[in-house]
Homo-oligomer: A and B are copies of this chain.
Amino acid sequence: MASDDQGVDLLWGARDKPARPPRLALTVDRIAAAAIEVADAEGMASVSMQQVAARLDVTKMALYRHVASKAELVAVMIESAVGEPPDLGAVPGGWRPRLVAWSDLMREAWRRHPWLPAATTGERMTGPREVGWTESAVAALDGTGLDGGERMDAVFLLSGHIRNTQSGATAGTQPWTAEKQLRTILHEHQDRFPALHEAARSTNGAPRDNGWTFGLDRILDGIEVLIERRRAGTTG
């Protein structure tokens, strides 16, 4: 902390610069940073006005001088946590490697903040950085022959897949991710769910990644099919 340095200054000199504000001024950025710390450490459910305020040694109502509501606080958290959107201009190889790079970057950002997938669902405000990420991905599809709506749908499809596979939030959504008890249930009711039972049995030992790689490859293959079809002149 810089306050120690300040203390030395106060003792040995610079006495004339009298009372530097003893506590850091409360700002939106400091509030967002504290909220992100709470969310990273204890999950989105623990992000309450009082928890965040406590981390700043401040009353919860003090926060309302800087954010209008909890929703706004969350919006600021998101905008801060997603980080600057990437510039994919330097990625060689066309749209597909570009989208792969974009996905990896987005996944990495979301991995650092596991609460992001959950926080970015539902009606809410959208900030410029978030739009910037979308811009970046849509730009990666420039020159593919897809029209604007298709490019945006493709990005939506891809980012939705990232959210779905990312970090536990929606990971429990599908039965086979609850591993232990579900595996036993599936075993007990194998007569009722024969296809699932057989699928669980015949899964080769490949490391599970929540369907991330599989889905990414399928989505990109599907987009590629469409692009090729367009390039070949077929309207379908």
Contacts and interface: CB of A to CB of B under 8 A. Distances in A.
Contacts of A186: 131
A174 B161 CA distance: 13
A156 B174 contact: yes
Interface in A124-145: 124, 126, 128, 130-132, 134-136, 138-139, 142
Nearest to A185: B131
Given A157-B218, A225-B225, 20 more contacts: A120-B173, A131-B186, A134-B196, A135-B192, A139-B195, A147-B202, A147-B204, A148-B200, A148-B204, A149-B199, A152-B211, A153-B214, A154-B218, A156-B164, A160-B165, A161-B161, A218-B225, A220-B222, A221-B226, A222-B225
Nearest to A134: B175
B211 A156 contact: yes
A136 to B, nearest CB: 8
A182 interface: yes
How many copies make up the complex? Answer: 2
Interface in A168-207: 168-176, 178, 182, 185-186, 189, 192-196, 198-204, 206
B148 A193 contact: no
A128 B189 contact: yes
B219 A152 contact: no
Q: What 9 pairs between A and B have smallest CB-CB spacing?
A: A218-B222, A148-B199, A222-B222, A139-B195, A160-B164, A149-B203, A153-B214, A148-B202, A148-B203
